[in-house]
Amino acid sequence: MNNFTFRNPTKLIFGKGTIAQIAAEIPAEAKIMMTYGGGSIRRNGVYDQVKAALKDRTVVEFGGIEPNPQYETLVQAIGLAREQGVDFLLAVGGGSVIDGTKFIATALKYEGDPWDFMVDPSKATDAVPLATVLTLPATGSEMNNGAVVSRKEFNEKLAFHNPKGYPLFSVLDPEVCYSLPQRQIVNGIVDSFAHTLEQYLTFDTQSMVMDRWAEGLLLTLVELGPKLVERHDRYDEVANFMLTATMALNGFIAMGVPQDWATHMIGHELTALHGLDHGVTLAIVYPGMMKVMRREKFDKLVQYAERVWGVTGSPEQKAEAAIGKTDAFFRSLGVKTRLSEHGIGEQTVDFIVERFRKRGWNLGESGKVTPERVAEILHDRM
């Protein structure tokens, strides 16, 4: 098992009716900025619940943070927060609103152009306190210190981590998910499945507990996937999904294991260049990653085939079946897993490969996902 340090300071408040508890968690004198997205919270009653809970507090609002949050929008929020003397941020939304809010929180403690810390994340060292009311189970952003922000003028989508960027608390009320469009439920299933794989499907380090924990999350998603696609208003199913998505990227399953993340880095490019939903990009890339990196990931592919998919046969047959099962699972949820199905061709592959070359990126758990292999992976997914 690899050495590790583990710490996660986010307080989780989980269950029906829990939004009402937020006032007690926010310092009485705080000048709060509530951030949100394109208006879903106004339609599903979450906005009213938050406002009711904070009725005796000073709250500035900033709405309009878009999916794949944009630098240009967030800069406006930073200006408003400075002008109003905001010292506490409350993100009410999915991963995009939460990530955007982490960017705002970091920028408020940063002198200079905030894009600096996207290019060089070591510059993200401090943040205004933030908390979240999660409305979409997928990213784990409600319980981690990472964020992904896009900038249209550069066609870029970059990630950063801030040691001070963990939400102070996050409220997870499964009932707020009933209003989600089915497409976002599917995105969330694929995203949390991929987060688990990024920390599991690497090479064996004898981190037995983490392996079993990761397999537990994967098995839960395989079981819940078809049920949630059918309908997502059954409380216990949605509650289990919500907890799974949080556990898939809050650092727990990373204890003592190597991490990959190459699929995510390639996926971010597909979103930056073509606007594909984050979850969709992962469903496209992951089977190709497994195929091209099959030798490096072989032992774990076999274990994954046995324990998650119940495959029998020779090790080679198991590894092969695991790749097919993964693609079939994503497709069974209704995701188109081929680049050609999204009208994406050779030009995009060349662009991404060249960009990774310029950035000097050799990705994956062992740095073996070179730009050449990225080309192979994407060609495999045509």
Residues within the interface to ligand NZQ (CB under 6 A): 37-41, 44, 67-68, 93-97, 99, 135-136, 138-141, 144, 146-148, 176-177, 179-180, 184, 187, 191, 249, 264, 278
Closest contact distance (angstroms) between CB of 167 and ligand NZQ is 11
Sign of the CA dihedral 213, 216, 222, 227? negative
Considering beta carbons, is residue 285 or 319 the nearer one to ligand NZQ?
A: 285
Closest contact distance (angstroms) between CB of 219 and ligand NZQ is 21
Query: What token pair was written down for 228?
Result: 């949630």
Closest contact distance (angstroms) between CB of 268 and ligand NZQ is 6
What is the rounded distance in angstroms from the CA atom of residue 368 to the CA atom of residue 224?
34
Contact partner at residue 67 from ligand NZQ, Zn ion, none, CB < 5 to 8 Å by partner kind:
ligand NZQ
Considering beta carbons, is residue 191 or 269 the nearer one to ligand NZQ?
A: 191
Contact partner at residue 165 from Zn ion, ligand NZQ, none, CB < 5 to 8 Å by partner kind:
none
What is the rounded distance in angstroms from the CA atom of residue 255 to the CA atom of residue 190?
22
Considering beta carbons, is residue 156 or 191 the nearer one to Zn ion?
A: 191
What is the rounded distance in angstroms from the CA atom of residue 84 to the CA atom of residue 122?
28
64-83 b/e (C-beta count within 10 Å ≥ 16 → b): bbebbbbbebbbebbeebee
Closest contact distance (angstroms) between CB of 18 and Zn ion is 25
Residue span 179-218 as binding mask against Zn ion, x where in contact by CB under 5 A, dash where not: ------------x---------------------------
Q: List, in sequence order, every residue forming a beta bridge with 158; answer none if it has no partner.
A: 149
Query: What token pair was written down for 142?
Result: 């409600």
CA 305 to chain centre: 24
Query: What token pair was written down for 203?
Result: 């090479």
User: Helix (H, G, I), strand (E, B), or coil: what is residue 318?
Assistant: helix
User: Helix (H, G, I), strand (E, B), or coil: what is residue 246?
Assistant: helix
Considering beta carbons, is residue 149 or 210 the nearer one to ligand NZQ?
A: 149
Judged on CB neighbours under 10 Å (0-12, 13-18, 19+), 119 is exposed
Contact partner at residue 288 from Zn ion, ligand NZQ, none, CB < 5 to 8 Å by partner kind:
none
Q: Is the separation of the CB atoms in 170 and 12 below 8 Å? A: yes
Of 304, 98, 118, residue with least CA distance to 217: 304
Contact partner at residue 147 from Zn ion, ligand NZQ, none, CB < 5 to 8 Å by partner kind:
ligand NZQ
Considering beta carbons, is residue 191 or 277 the nearer one to Zn ion?
A: 191
To which H or E segment does residue 103 belong? helix 95-107
Q: List, in sequence order, every residue forming a beta bridge with 35; answer none if it has no partner.
A: 62, 91
Contact partner at residue 96 from Zn ion, ligand NZQ, none, CB < 5 to 8 Å by partner kind:
ligand NZQ
Closest contact distance (angstroms) between CB of 333 and ligand NZQ is 14
Closest contact distance (angstroms) between CB of 198 and Zn ion is 8
Closest contact distance (angstroms) between CB of 194 and Zn ion is 6
Considering beta carbons, is residue 150 or 303 the nearer one to ligand NZQ?
A: 150
Contact partner at residue 22 from Zn ion, ligand NZQ, none, CB < 5 to 8 Å by partner kind:
none
Query: What token pair was written down for 25?
Result: 């968690």
Contact partner at residue 310 from Zn ion, ligand NZQ, none, CB < 5 to 8 Å by partner kind:
none
Contact partner at residue 148 from Zn ion, ligand NZQ, none, CB < 5 to 8 Å by partner kind:
ligand NZQ
Which positions lie near Zn ion, rule CB under 5 A?
191
